[in-house]
């Protein structure tokens, strides 16, 4: 039997996506073995602690330990409690030692066996260890948007070795957005316009208000369905879409930062989180916005159009907000929480390349991350 190619990896972030990724790794063992690959998890961290295999060169977390990590984090428990049941198999490092230990693992494995750093956190603080990891010869796989939407200097460092970075899941969960754009760009076909509905939450909200439902009712329904963040203003601000737009704009070569993007928030500043609690926003703030959105929906309808919350990247311009679009266009036909991206280039000028599908959800995002990890297998000995 042929020897399996081993990919050592460290996972940062044990929220919904990180846990789902570990579950996918465990459940896909036989599939990956048939593909000649074995994913060797040697470390897992959350915001407060890091668990590392007792010897990162020869040991790894077995599937029982990976399942226990998922169980612990689903219960919001600390990774440090693992030491009681799995003390011989792993070491735990807390706060102050965490970053130093991650750097040590990167330097030990980066240029020997190779190492993949997988960032499924939502933290802006991982960028420092990720840029170090790139210098130390590691590969990086991202579901976390914040490192790629940091400063231009950080971005340049992260993408300085294009074969060693994958970040498909930062924009469209498991949808092939980055891969499709890279293929178009590397063929010399200039992309001149991208229009995308890249928030499942806002896609759902806009298609529901189109049916005449008040915005306040739709947002509350979306929250109860688990479509929104605990504070729906995190979605309604448009910042998440702006980060995705920035990643796409930078991929096209635009030298911009997040503050270069014109972002339309669906609520005014005086209803912001620093001024109004979530409860007050939902009960008294949101209903005040119903009439304005309802009027905009009616005006669009008179023109045969619908409203969609989209990012538009064209020329040197990048904007995020509500646009009036033809009802029969791919974006106009969009219903529910799907994502849709239209890419216009020389080859796709009259009819854009359209990418559509589920663009959110822990399962879909984790599957996208797993596919990205397998995509870099040729860089490992």
Residue tagged active-site, from 73, 101, 223, 244: 244
Q: In the predicted model, what is the mean pLDDT of the chain?
A: 93
**Is the model's pLDDT at 2 over the cut of 90?**
no
In the chain, how many H helices and how many E strands?
16, 13
Backbone angles phi, psi at 236, to 5 degrees: -70, -20
Of 41, 55, 49, the closest CA to residue 10 belongs to: 41
Rounded to an integer, the average pLDDT of 60-67 is 94
Write the DSSP string, 296-358.
HHHHHHHTTEEEEEEEEEETTEEEEEEEEEETTSTTTT--TTEEEEEEEESTTSSS-EEEEEE
Rounded to an integer, the average pLDDT of 258-277 is 96
Instruction: Please tell me the distance from the alpha carbon of residue 96 to that of residue 101, in angstroms, as a whole number.
Output: 10
CB atoms near residue 304 (< 10 Å): 11
Query: pLDDT tens digit string along 79-136?
Result: 888 766 566 788 889 878 888 999 999 999 998 999 999 999 999 999 999 999 999 9
Question: In which band, very low, low, confident or very high, does the pLDDT at 173 lie, cut at 50, 70 and 90?
Answer: confident
Instruction: Please tell me the distance from the alpha carbon of residue 152 to that of residue 162, in angstroms, as a whole number.
Output: 16
Percent of the chain with pLDDT over 70: 98
* DSSP summary character for residue 166: E
Judge whether 213 counts as a catalytic residue. no
DSSP run (H or E) holding 165? strand 165-166
- Which residues, 6 or more positions from 193, have their beta carbon under 8 angstroms from its beta carbon? 312, 313, 314, 342, 343, 344, 352
Q: What is the pLDDT of residue 96?
A: 80
Question: In which band, very low, low, confident or very high, does the pLDDT at 361 lie, cut at 50, 70 and 90?
Answer: confident
Question: In which band, very low, low, confident or very high, does the pLDDT at 262 lie, cut at 50, 70 and 90?
Answer: very high
Percent of the chain with pLDDT over 90: 82
Whether residue 341 contacts residue 329, with contact meaning beta carbons closer than 8 Å, is answered with no
For strands 116-119 and 5-12, give the pairing. parallel
Instruction: Please tell me the distance from the alpha carbon of residue 68 to that of residue 70, in angstroms, as a whole number.
Output: 5
Query: pLDDT tens digit string along 219-253?
Result: 999 888 878 888 999 999 999 999 999 999 999 99
Placement of tokens 């409203």 in the chain: 307
Rounded to an integer, the average pLDDT of 47-59 is 92
Query: pLDDT tens digit string along 139-171?
Result: 999 999 999 999 999 999 999 999 999 999 999
Placement of tokens 């298609």 in the chain: 207
Write the DSSP string, 46-102.
-SSEEEEESSTTT----HHHHHHHHHHHHTT--GGGHHHHHTTTEEEEEHHHHHHHH
Of 22, 20, 30, the closest CA to residue 51 belongs to: 22
Instruction: Please tell me the distance from the alpha carbon of residue 208 to that of residue 190, in angstroms, as a whole number.
Output: 35
Rounded to an integer, the average pLDDT of 266-280 is 95
- For residue 161, count CB atoms less than 10 angstroms from its CB and return exposed for 0-12, middle for 13-18, buried for 19 or more: middle
Q: What is the pLDDT of residue 97?
A: 86
The β-bridge partners of 91 are 52
Token readout for 177 is 């957005």
Instruction: Please tell me the distance from the alpha carbon of residue 260 to that of residue 70, in angstroms, as a whole number.
Output: 39
Of 13, 28, 10, 6, the closest CA to residue 70 belongs to: 13
């Amino acid at each position: 039997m042929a020897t399996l190619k081993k990919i050592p990896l460290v996972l940062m972030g044990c929220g919904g996506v990180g846990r789902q990724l570990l579950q996918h790794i465990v459940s896909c063992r036989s599939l990956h073995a048939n593909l000649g690959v074995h994913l060797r998890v040697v470390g897992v961290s959350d915001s407060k602690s890091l668990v590392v295999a007792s010897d990162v060169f020869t040991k790894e977390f077995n599937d029982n330990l990976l399942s226990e990590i998922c169980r612990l984090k689903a219960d919001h428990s600390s990774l440090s409690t693992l030491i009681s049941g799995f003390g011989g198999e792993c070491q735990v490092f807390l706060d102050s030692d965490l970053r130093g230990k991650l750097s040590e693992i990167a330097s030990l494995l980066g240029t020997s066996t190779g190492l993949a750093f997988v960032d499924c956190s939502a933290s802006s603080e991982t960028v420092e260890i990720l840029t170090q990891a790139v210098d130390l010869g590691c590969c990086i796989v991202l579901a976390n948007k914040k490192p790629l939407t940091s400063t231009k200097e950080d971005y340049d460092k992260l993408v300085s070795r294009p074969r060693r970075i994958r970040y498909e899941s930062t924009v469209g969960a498991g949808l092939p957005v980055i891969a499709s754009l890279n293929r178009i760009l590397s063929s010399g076909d200039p992309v001149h316009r991208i229009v995308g509905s890249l928030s499942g939450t806002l896609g759902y909200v806009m298609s529901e208000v189109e049916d005449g439902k008040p915005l306040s009712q739709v947002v509350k329904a979306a929250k109860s369905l688990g479509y929104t963040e605990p504070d729906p203003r995190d979605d309604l601000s448009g910042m998440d879409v702006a980060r995705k737009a920035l990643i796409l704009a930078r991929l096209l070569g635009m030298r911009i930062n997040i503050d270069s993007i014109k972002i339309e928030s669906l609520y005014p500043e005086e209803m912001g989180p620093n001024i109004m609690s979530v409860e007050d926003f939902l009960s008294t703030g949101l209903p005040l916005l119903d009439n304005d959105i309802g009027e905009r929906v009616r005006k669009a309808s008179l023109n045969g159009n619908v409203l969609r919350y989209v990012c538009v990247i064209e020329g040197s311009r990048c904007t995020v907000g509500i646009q009036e679009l033809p009802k029969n266009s791919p974006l106009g036909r969009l219903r529910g929480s799907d994502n849709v991206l239209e890419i216009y280039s020389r080859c796709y000028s009259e009819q854009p390349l359209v990418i559509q599908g589920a663009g959110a959800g822990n399962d879909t995002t984790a599957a996208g991350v797993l596919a990205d990890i397998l995509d870099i297998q040729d860089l490992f000995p």
